[in-house]
Structure 1
Amino acid sequence: MRKTILLLIFSISLTCFAQDINYTRKTLNTLTSKEFWGRGYTKNGMSKAADFIESQFKTFGLQPMNGKDFKQPFSFSVNTFPGGIELKINGKKLIPGKEFIVGQASAGVKAKADLIEKDSLNFIDDGDRIVVSLKDKLTWSVSQKVNDYTEISVIKSAINEKPKNIETTIENVFVPEFRASNICAVVKGTLKPDSVILITGHYDHLGGMGKDTYFPGANDNASGVSFLLSLAKYYAANPQKYSIAFICFAGEEAGILGSKYFTENPLIDLQKIRFLINVDMVGTGETGATVVNATQYPKEFALLNQVNDASKLLVKINPRGKAANSDHYFFTEKGVPAFFLYTQGGISAYHDVFDKPETLPFTIYENLFKLFLGFNKGLMN
């Protein structure tokens, strides 16, 4: 009976609340703008995004997690491409990002050479310094090392015949100590401030490849950060009996490095975290959402579904087991109960230049917001 009454309260209260979707859209557009250059490793993109997130926490009235500074600095190595990126295949100039990408671990090169066919999809120059691969989709990432050769992926539709010769200029700069920061904030609880619900998401993305091409990263993960900031705005205005804390991580795309650093250098006692919810790629949702670690924490997953069913928010929440695929992972390894939630359906853009804000449908964004409010309230009760 008590559970039924609580769920009825959740259902009524959640239908009365409307998320500030205009703020969310504005935030998404800011995070994916050219000024932030893919929130990565060139043109100061990641640093600008960090400053923006910090400014939002300050504006809302949140407190630094350690009581002093919103930023938790750390460093790691990364291979970057700040300079020229040019490619001609069979004399045809190709468009970076749309028709070709440079492998993230590639060495810089300036070359004009004939290509030798290794197989129907892969071609090399006679010095074995360059590998050209034909792809159906271009997918970029981040590397902490540099190979002694250069990889170039070319979309199949960009050329009409097999690659026979290449002319290319690629400039890379390896940065052994790239400086980044996690952004950490908290809304103190009114009754049990030492009990913490932690909401996390990574704000970094892939950055830029060359002087003219950047990866906006709208779904991955400007959507998650926009969602997190919307929650921060709400909880700052509506403090709960537990503390509600927020972390925007750097270095996720380079290997979930920011969250690993935080768990090794925590700014709060990890044992006081009642539950962690990590959001990454939450801008779609036509077919529902998936929760990693659902099978690890069946009681909390049941609560999530009870809240969802009571207000009919998402069409389905799919359970998934343990996986080291986002920033929840190292917390789980330290004994912190955690979910990683991502939505499904909608756009297929991923780690490419087409992950843009104008293509992101935000299908269930407001309902997802209500789901989080109800779930968090359930945890505190």
Structure 2
Amino acid sequence: MLCVGNFIYCGHKAFFRMYRLPFLLFISFFFGSNAFAQDLNYAKKTINTLTSKKYWGRGYTKDGMGKAANYIEKEFRSFGLVPISSNDFKQGFSFAVNTFPSKMEVKLDGRKLIAGKDFIVHQASKGISITDSLVKKDSLTYLGKSGSIAISLQPKLTWSVSQKVLDYTIIEISQKAVITNPTVIKVDVENRLEPNFKAANVLAMVKGTAKPDSMIVFTAHYDHLGGMGEQIYFPGANDNASGIAMLLNLAKYYAANPPKYSIVFIAFAAEEAGLLGSKYFTENPLFPLQNIRFLWNLDLLGNGDAGATVVNATIHPQEFALLNKINAEHKYLTKINPRGKAANSDHHFFTEKGVPAFFLYTQGGSPAYHDVDDIAKKLPLTAFENLFKLFIKFNTVLIH
């Protein structure tokens, strides 16, 4: 490139005139491609960061969620975004949550099981230290004779978050880890109910150049499941470091290319605990919800070889038709499947308030979900670049 440039600018004007247009197109394509490739690299860096041990599953122990919120705020500030209200990028709230901060040991018939791989503790379980004989209830369930513990055999270990504590303990064990009917279990597990766990939504905006009170909103939850004991955490790469990576990429883009409408970015906390962050925001909005022209909820964006699905497609047919028209013209995704209304992510409470919203998630790729295998290196990010372009194009058409 430097050689070509030097040749052109060393007095060869005839050559420059002859090849100026294709050369400039090449320059534009080359640097344009690299500019987006850099964004993809930024997305990968974001996912690697948020899934690292430092952030401990962005959950309820070791300040994982708090560290993630600070990271997102720092990125918003670095792009030059402004807070929604006053000078605060965060909207704090609190709730109860059951946590497992330390002891996490299970032995089955004398054999030590590996947390996350061989077993998980049901999220609502209370802590217990016990050695108990097991009685078979059915092919997948065993009960301790003490009446304080139950064993559930599972084809896949999938964890979650609970706001309450049961008066007994459930140990979920992978069917692959059980060779014969188990007879004795030894458990040493500690739980801690946090009655007033503090979390925060992280919000920022790019003010519109002509209609700042009309808004396009992008949302994505940054929390995941956190850790189970002192050694095991759930990385949450696809769910939902991938959505946050897209959110930050879009924030970076719109900060450099402000449109006539305002673009708002909301990173929600506590989605995994029951959509609590988005519920709190819709009940305590920092701007009138009726100002939202359209809302995109970004969740599970790490794949895409099998296309994507859009929740609320059937209740917003015109917008879905526009989305498919753009996709057909540019061939961004292999297909976009319509789905009806569903309370399965942070768009839900906005929909209930009458805000037009889509929740888009990708399909295909790794089956890892709510487990220790949802790691960054398993994310192909097949459709990430094209999804970015699709969001930009859709919003451009929508607001003109």
The bucket for the TM-score relative to the shorter chain is over 0.9
CA distance in 2, matches of 1:257, 1:277: 18
Q: 1:298-328: CA deviations, max 9, x gaps?
A: 1111111111111110000000000000000
**Counterpart residue number, 2:344:** 325
CA distance in 2, matches of 1:61, 1:155: 47
**Counterpart residue number, 1:37:** 56
**Counterpart residue number, 2:161:** 142
1:236 maps to amino acid: A
1:107 maps to amino acid: K
CA distance in 2, matches of 1:204, 1:177: 17
User: Which segment is superposed worse, 16-25 or 145-154?
Assistant: 16-25
CA distance in 1, matches of 2:289, 2:397: 21
Cα drift, residue 92 of structure 1: 0.4
**Counterpart residue number, 2:88:** 69
| Identity percentage of aligned residues | 62
**Counterpart residue number, 2:388:** 369
Cα drift, residue 67 of structure 1: 3.2
Cα drift, residue 379 of structure 1: 1.2
2:345 maps to amino acid: S
Superposition pairs of residues 83-162 of structure 1, within 5 angstroms? 83-162=102-181
Local SS of the residue matching 1:167: strand
**Counterpart residue number, 1:335:** 354
- Greater C-alpha Rg: 2
Structure 1 residues without counterparts, runs of 5 or longer: 1-11
Find out whether 1:353 has 2:372 as its counterpart: yes
Superposition pairs of residues 46-65 of structure 1, within 5 angstroms? 46-65=65-84
Local SS of the residue matching 2:120: strand
CA distance in 2, matches of 1:272, 1:62: 19
Alignment RMSD:
1.3
Return the structure number with greater relative CO, CA threshold 8 A, min gap 6: 1
**Counterpart residue number, 2:329:** 310
User: Which segment is superposed worse, 119-128 or 285-294?
Assistant: 119-128
Find out whether 1:188 has 2:230 as its counterpart: no
1:245 maps to amino acid: V
Local SS of the residue matching 1:302: helix
1:81 maps to amino acid: F
Cα drift, residue 268 of structure 1: 1.1
Cα drift, residue 16 of structure 1: 5.7
Local SS of the residue matching 2:200: strand
Local SS of the residue matching 1:63: coil
Cα pair 2:132 2:146 within 8 Å, conserved? no
Cα drift, residue 294 of structure 1: 0.3
Alignment size in residue pairs: 369
User: Which segment is superposed worse, 201-210 or 117-126?
Assistant: 117-126
Cα drift, residue 22 of structure 1: 0.7
Q: 1:173-198: CA deviations, max 9, x gaps?
A: 00011000000100000011111000
1:99 maps to amino acid: D
Local SS of the residue matching 2:138: coil
Alignment match of 1:287 (pick from 301, 306, 310): 306
Task: Give the alignment's TM-score, normalised by structure 1.
Answer: 0.95
CA distance in 2, matches of 1:162, 1:174: 33
CA distance in 1, matches of 2:337, 2:160: 27
CA distance in 2, matches of 1:167, 1:16: 59
1:181 maps to amino acid: A
**Counterpart residue number, 1:241:** 260
Q: 1:5-29: CA deviations, max 9, x gaps?
A: xxxxxxx99x966351111100000
CA distance in 1, matches of 2:206, 2:339: 30
Alignment match of 1:23 (pick from 42, 45, 53): 42
Superposition pairs of residues 171-320 of structure 1, within 5 angstroms? 171-320=190-339
